[in-house]
């Protein structure tokens, strides 16, 4: 019994040493100064809530948001039009004012593209993408949204396992069915910071904590835009979170084809739970980490930007931090 306890304690100690070493390496990523060219070039996105298409928001709210979109170099918005049912259906009653919103928005911001964001019901889980009939219903809903006037569709399924074939099949089918000029984009989870880590952790954990970089690349091949949800990492400090974002940015830059627009997520919401400490996952840390990760590549990527989450929760201070840290570092406030 004594030898067994010693082995258990030794194993725990080894895990702690590895974890500590990894934490040190992650924190070291968040050092130095980003390159002066590693800033916004006006190709950013904003996740927007369902209040815009269900009648709660109107002209007054858009008047307040418009200067932030203009000053923030926002070229795309992803407007939530409602959650998909588990069988893949989308109830039109979730977005009764979609057409009115599109007219209003384009009247004020004609150069900003609007994609309809569809996802899952949190309390029920996501649609079963492995089911062919479910995929057909999802694509039917997506086609109706484009017919209603949206510039494209943004998928936001959240908990898709690494190497899931159903998502790839859905993206292929969506691309075939949508008009050639319709945008197809998707949010994706955090990516393994080191090669092989997703596979290793997948052997011992009940759910995949990361996507592999290879799977991210295969998904991205079917898309016009990829938005990496580089938050809700569980990191306890700003330094560790910032270092993690640096690494996420570098891995994503290598995995996503250059003809696909890559957007790194920036958290601007107050959620405080096991996967997110809002005092660690700040806008400041996110945009500095993104700039550092971009700088490590040594050159500017043409199709690159950030995606801010979200319009309904971002405070004035967070918008200012976004502008000062990413849009025009050193140029003062403008939000």
| CATH code for the domain in which residue 145 is found | 3.20.20.80
Packing angle, helices 213-220 and 165-177, rounded to 10: 10
pTM: 0.89
Of the candidates 298, 288, 300, which has an alpha carbon nearest to the alpha carbon of residue 330?
A: 288
Q: Residue 248 is inside which H or E element, if any?
A: helix 238-255
pLDDT of residue 224: 98
Measured distance CA(142)–CA(120) in Å, rounded: 14
| Cα–Cα distance for residue pair 187/262, rounded to 1 Å | 10
How many domains, the chain?
1
* Structural domain contains residue 21: no
Closest CA to 69 of 103, 99, 113: 113
Surface-to-core class of residue 296, CB atoms within 10 Å of its CB (0-12 exposed, 13-18 middle, 19+ buried): middle
3-state secondary structure of 86: coil
How many Å apart are CA 117 and CA 103, to the nearest integer? 17
For residues 330 and 131, give the distance between their C-alpha atoms in angstroms, rounded to a whole number.
Answer: 51
Residue 3 lies in a domain: no
pLDDT at site 15: 34
- Give me the phi and psi of 267, to 5 degrees please: -80, 125
* DSSP SS3 for 49: coil
User: Is 2 among the domain residues?
Assistant: no
Cβ atoms within 10 A of the Cβ of 181, count? 8
pLDDT profile of the chain (335 residues), mean per 10: 38 34 54 94 97 98 98 98 94 97 98 95 77 97 98 93 95 97 96 64 58 95 97 89 94 96 95 76 97 91 96 96 93 47
Give dist(CA 166, CA 265) in Å, integer: 24
CA dihedral 157, 159, 163, 165 (to 10 degrees): -40
Q: Is residue 88 part of a domain?
A: yes
CB within 8 Å of 201: residues ≥ 6 apart: 208, 209, 210
pLDDT score for 332: 47
Residue 6, in any domain of the structure: no
Give CA–CA dist 16/14, Å, rounded: 5
User: Does any domain span residue 7?
Assistant: no
Residues 6+ apart with CB under 8 A from 93: none
For the chain, give percent helix, strand, coil, nearest 5.
Answer: 45, 15, 40
Q: Which DSSP category does 92 fall into?
A: G
State the distance between the two ends of the chain, measured CA to CA, in whole angstroms. 64
In angstroms, the CA 153 to CA 29 distance is: 34
Question: Which distant-in-sequence residues (6+ apart) come within 8 Å of 270 by Cβ?
Answer: 278, 313
Range of the domain at 200: 42-327
On whether residue 335 sits in a domain, the answer given is: no
129 domain-assigned? yes
């Amino acid at each position: 019994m004594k030898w067994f306890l010693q082995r258990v304690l030794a194993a725990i100690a080894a895990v702690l040493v590895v974890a500590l070493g990894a934490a040190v390496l992650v924190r070291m990523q968040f050092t130095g100064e980003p390159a002066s060219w590693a800033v916004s070039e006006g190709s950013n996105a904003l996740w927007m809530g369902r209040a815009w298409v269900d009648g709660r928001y109107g002209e007054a709210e858009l008047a307040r948001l418009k200067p932030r979109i203009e000053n923030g170099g926002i070229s795309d918005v992803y407007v939530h039009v409602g959650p998909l049912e588990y069988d893949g259906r989308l109830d039109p009653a979730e977005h009764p004012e979609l057409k009115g919103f599109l007219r209003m928005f384009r009247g004020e911001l004609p150069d900003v593209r609007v994609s309809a964001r569809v996802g899952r019901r949190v309390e029920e889980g996501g649609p079963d993408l492995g089911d062919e009939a479910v995929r057909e219903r999802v694509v039917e809903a997506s086609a109706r949204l484009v017919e209603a006037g949206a510039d494209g569709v943004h998928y936001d399924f959240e908990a898709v396992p690494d190497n899931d074939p159903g998502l790839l099949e859905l993206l292929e089918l969506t691309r075939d069915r949508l008009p050639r000029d319709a945008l197809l984009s998707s949010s994706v989870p955090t990516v393994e910071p080191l090669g092989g880590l997703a596979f290793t952790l997948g052997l011992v954990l009940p759910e995949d904590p990361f996507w592999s970089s290879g799977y991210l690349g295969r998904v991205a091949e079917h898309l016009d835009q990829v938005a990496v949800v580089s938050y809700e990492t569980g990191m306890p400090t700003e330094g560790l979170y910032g270092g993690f974002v640096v690494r996420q940015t570098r891995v994503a830059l290598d995995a996503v084809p250059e003809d696909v627009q890559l957007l790194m997520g920036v958290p601007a919401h107050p959620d405080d739970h096991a996967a997110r400490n809002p005092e660690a996952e700040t806008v400041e840390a996110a945009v500095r980490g993104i700039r550092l990760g971009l700088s490590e590549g040594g050159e500017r990527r043409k199709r690159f930007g950030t995606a801010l989450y979200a319009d309904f929760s971002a405070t004035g201070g967070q918008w200012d931090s976004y502008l000062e840290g990413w849009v025009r570092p050193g140029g003062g406030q403008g939000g």
